[in-house]
Structure 1
Amino acid sequence: MTHLISGGSRSGKSRYAEQLAVQHGGPVTYIATAEVRDEEFAERVRQHRLQRPEHWHVLEAERGLAELVLGHDQEDGLLLVDCLGMWLMRFFRSDDQFDEMDFVQERQWLLEAIAAVQGQLLLVSNEIGWGVMPMSSVARRYGDLLGRLNQDIAARCQQVTLVACGLPLALKGG
């Protein structure tokens, strides 16, 4: 079963995904996608780590997310990917350049991996396009890419949930 869980910043989407993973009962592999770039974000990551059960297998993804998903998929297991927005950020370099060729290929591999998963897959992502249009072209590009990625992943998932104010709303399946 594949399940996309999306929501705004601090909406409770990661907490909801983690609750589902705890209820799973089988082996859980947590795939963290964030790249720590400053001290404030490092503290956020530290807090996330403290929330997770110690017996979960934790992997750090870079750009090769599909490879990790397929390499750690188990019929009785659950993979939790948190989050697609942070994974997309890995394709933006510090000089505000976007590695489009790499992203297009990795995105395609991820979409193929979602279709091939034998166990359960929870994918956490952000909904960022509900506010004001960003002023920078880089931020607009990021929002466009993430919005399209979310749509393509949602089309391939059996279940899609939007989390707002800590409350899950089933959009597809479930």
Structure 2
Amino acid sequence: MSYTLVTGGAKSGKSTFAESLLEDSAVVCYLATSVMNYQDDEMDARIQRHQKTRPASWQTEERFLAIDDWIRSTKNNYDAYLLDCVTVLNTNLFFHIMTEEMGKDIDQVEQLFDEYSPQERYKIEVRMFQEWEKIRAVLLETNTTMILVTNEVGSGVVPVSAMGRWFQDLLGKVNQYLAKEAESVYFVVCGIPQKIK
């Protein structure tokens, strides 16, 4: 397995740096996890800016589910994969679990979550980690080159809501898990990458 984790704060330059790591790869699959199932002009503009910076030869796959299956079925088609980003994947996966798997109304997720016991919250965390374990397993199995981009969440403001604090903690745990297993880890600050592993 050969995967690299690139982390940093919002607008730190982490995506640009991650893309530069693959500039010598001819055929790259860009796994875009910002799947737009609703109208959001600001997010749409962000996506378009990201698209303009990528080489035209790169192919984009928009998904946040079954990434392990996608890699397994396309491993011979690409030199490398770039997943951007871990944080958005976790966000989409959380709401998918709450609405599609648990049948909750998306407008009531935060209220319902506030009433969950620690055990109920832990079950959701376990379900989310199952996805990362599957991704890690397929990278081991296929020896695929992968760059993962994630947000460093420990240096920002602590969220006001209980769900926000739980989610921030979860993102930190996912980042630690991915960093521990990664071949190399970079922390990007003000557009300057620092190799920390």
- CA deviations over 1:73-112 (Å, ceiling 9, x no partner): 3497111000000000012333235882642321221232
More helix by share: 2
Q: What's 2:3 paired with?
A: 2
Q: Select 1:70's aligned residue among 69, 72, 85.
A: 72
Letter in 1 for 2:33: T
Is 2:35 the partner of 1:35? yes
- Aligned pairs for 1:1-174 within 5 A: 1-24=2-25, 26-36=26-36, 37=38, 38-74=40-76, 77-93=79-95, 94=106, 95-96=109-110, 97=113, 100=124, 102-172=127-197
Secondary structure of the residue aligned to 1:135 is coil
Instruction: Determine if contact 2:4/2:147 at 8 Å carries over to the other structure.
Output: yes
Could you tell me whether the CA contact under 8 Å between 1:161 and 1:168 is conserved in 2? yes
CA contact (8 A) 1:70 1:113 kept: yes
Does the residue aligned with 2:196 lie in a helix, a strand or coil?
strand
- Quick check: 2:64–2:93 contact (8 Å CA) kept in 1? no
- The answer as to whether partners of 1:14 and 1:82 remain within 8 angstroms in 2 is yes
TM-score by length of 2: 0.78
SS at match of 1:11: coil
- What code does the residue aligned with 2:159 have? P
Q: Give the percent of matched residue pairs that are identical in Structure 1 and Structure 2.
A: 30
Which whole-Å CA distance do the structure 2 matches of 1:160 and 1:104 have between them? 20
Q: Measure, in 1, the Cα distance between the counterparts of 2:71 and 2:7.
A: 19
Consecutive unaligned residues of structure 1, counting only runs of 5 or more, are: none
SS of residue matched to 2:24: helix
Decide whether the 8 Å contact of 2:14 with 2:149 is kept in 1: yes
Amino acid at match of 2:83: V
Go from structure 1 to structure 2 and tell me whether the alpha carbon gap of 1:132 and 1:76 turns closer, same or farther (over 3 Å shift): closer
How many residues end up aligned between the 2 structures?
A: 171
| Rg larger for | 2
Give the superposition deviation at 1:67: 2.2
Report the 3-state secondary structure (helix = DSSP H, G, I; strand = E; otherwise coil) of the residue aligned with 2:23: helix
C-alpha RMSD of the superposition: 2.1
TM-score, length of structure 1 as denominator length: 0.88
Specify the code of the residue in structure 2 equivalent to 1:4: L
Gaps of 5+ in 2: 96-105, 114-120
Stretch of structure 1 that moved more, 78-87 or 55-64: 55-64
1:67 to 1:60, Cα distance in 2 relative to 1, 3 A: same
Please say if residues 3 and 147 of structure 2, whose CA atoms lie closer than 8 Å, have aligned partners that are also in contact: yes
